[in-house]
């Protein structure tokens, strides 16, 4: 049995991202209900941070990941952090601040969440891995506006970086960087978020994995971070699987069927697109508005309950069927990474 619930991580007067459109960063928890049979009162805790190019927080790297590590005995939460689908308001440090607040929030509430505060792992994917890595190398820079929470450590005990965006240099994923710091952002911001440049002996132990044939984020990203972990004597593991494209998530049977769980991570995108459709977008140029309307077409009007004669006028049209999730190949090696990561965590602890 598990408890599933949501909690916002900021108070209204603490969160002021300009393009939030009413969204509040939040955590969805997956907590074991302790029955006392094994005497276990606290468990290692996994904070899952999905990717999405800093434009969205994608469902295929959210609940489905939490469930895998939940089944491995961990308590978990999925972080829905700040993104910008319009790519018009640079995010800068806000996603990193969201992750920092989430870590502090979990540690402060460790007893209620049955969490071991000394075994708190952040697990990010793609741009979500960049969020995690940013916190891992810059955690000392983040001051929390809540004095009580600021006194709680925001340093993760370990990081799992899955096909991560790392660098702003030659091998960057440029669209993630544009959303984060802007196309014309200051060079110092690009340098700050080129994470391989900031690894030190204080960086948390790190597990990295990626596929050599990653078609969106070059494999050099994870290799650069791993090499700098080695140079700084940070405990790490690095696995480069020979084949597979970007975004394989946990790559299990549920993932191959498109059974990702609840799509709650899309809340900010839904709010932003609605705002753009209503003319409330923040500095969204006409070209981007058009792209968003094509990418997220307006849903059909509700059926008229009074129309019972079977007519098929426009008001009575049914919503189009959702596109089928394409058949996915099995990657017998990649599917093993969660077990490999769990074994690695047990070793470093």
**How confident is residue 1, by pLDDT bands cut at 50, 70 and 90?**
low
Dist CA 275 CA 271 (whole Å): 6
Q: How many Cα atoms within 13 Å fall on the side-chain side of residue 128?
A: 27
316 by Cβ neighbours in 10 Å (0-12 / 13-18 / 19+) ranks as: middle
pLDDT digits (tens, 9 = 90+) for 201-210: 999 999 999 9
pLDDT digits (tens, 9 = 90+) for 119-176: 999 999 999 999 999 999 999 999 999 999 999 999 999 999 999 999 999 999 999 9
**How confident is residue 312, by pLDDT bands cut at 50, 70 and 90?**
very low
Tell me the mean pLDDT in the region 177-189.
Answer: 96
Beta strands, E only, the chain: 2-8, 26-32, 43-49, 75-80, 115-125, 158-162, 206-211, 236-241
* Domains located in the chain, CATH noted: 2-286+331-348 (3.40.50.1820)
Three-state DSSP class for residue 176:
helix
Residue 184 is predicted with a pLDDT of: 93
The angle subtended at Cα 207 by Cα 204 and Cα 208, nearest 5°, is: 120
**How confident is residue 37, by pLDDT bands cut at 50, 70 and 90?**
low
pTM over 0.85: yes
Residue 230 is predicted with a pLDDT of: 98
Three-state DSSP class for residue 88:
coil
Q: What is the pairing mode between strands 43-49 and 236-241?
A: unpaired
Q: 265: how many CB neighbours lie within 10 A of its CB?
A: 28
> Could you tell me which residues come within 8 angstroms of residue 127 by beta carbon, excluding any fewer than 6 positions away?
51, 52, 53, 54, 165, 173, 176
Is the pLDDT reported for residue 313 higher than 70? Answer: no
Q: What is the pairing mode between strands 2-8 and 26-32?
A: antiparallel
pLDDT above 70 as % of the chain: 90
Residue 299 is predicted with a pLDDT of: 66
pLDDT digits (tens, 9 = 90+) for 46-95: 999 999 999 999 999 999 999 999 999 999 999 999 999 999 999 999 99
Dist CA 206 CA 122 (whole Å): 10
């Amino acid at each position: 049995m598990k408890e599933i619930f949501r909690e916002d991580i900021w108070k209204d007067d603490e969160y002021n991202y300009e393009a939030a459109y009413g969204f509040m960063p939040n955590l969805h928890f997956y907590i074991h209900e302790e029955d006392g049979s094994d005497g276990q009162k606290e468990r290692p805790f996994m904070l899952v941070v999905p990717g999405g190019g800093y434009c969205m927080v994608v469902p295929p790297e959210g609940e489905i990941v939490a469930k895998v590590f939940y089944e491995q005995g961990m308590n978990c939460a999925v972080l829905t952090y700040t993104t910008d689908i319009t790519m018009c308001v640079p995010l800068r440090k806000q996603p990193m601040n969201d992750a920092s607040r989430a870590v502090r929030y979990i540690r402060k509430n460790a007893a209620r969440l049955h969490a071991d505060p000394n075994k708190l792992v952040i697990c990010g994917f793609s741009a979500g891995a960049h969020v995690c890595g940013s916190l891992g190398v810059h955690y000392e820079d983040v001051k929390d506006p809540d004095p009580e929470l600021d006194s709680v450590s925001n340093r993760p005990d370990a990081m799992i970086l899955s096909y991560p965006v790392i660098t702003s240099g030659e091998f960057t994923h440029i669209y993630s960087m544009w959303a984060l710091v802007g196309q014309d952002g200051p060079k110092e911001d690009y340098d700050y978020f080129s994470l391989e440049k900031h690894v030190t002996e204080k960086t948390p132990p790190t597990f990295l994995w990626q596929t050599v044939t990653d078609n969106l984020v070059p494999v050099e990203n994870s290799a650069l971070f791993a090499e700098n972990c080695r140079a700084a004597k940070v405990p790490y593991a690095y696995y480069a699987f020979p084949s597979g494209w970007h975004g394989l998530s946990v790559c299990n049977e549920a993932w191959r069927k498109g059974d990702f769980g609840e799509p709650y991570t899309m809340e900010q995108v839904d709010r932003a697109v609605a705002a753009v459709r209503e003319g409330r977008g923040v500095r969204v140029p006409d070209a981007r508005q058009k792209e968003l309307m094509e990418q997220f077409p307006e849903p059909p009007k509700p059926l008229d309950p009074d129309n019972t004669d079977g007519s098929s006028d426009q008001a009575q049209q049914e919503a189009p069927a959702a596109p089928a999730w394409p058949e996915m190949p099995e990657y017998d090696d990649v599917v093993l990474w969660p077990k490999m990561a769990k074994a690695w965590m047990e070793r470093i602890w």
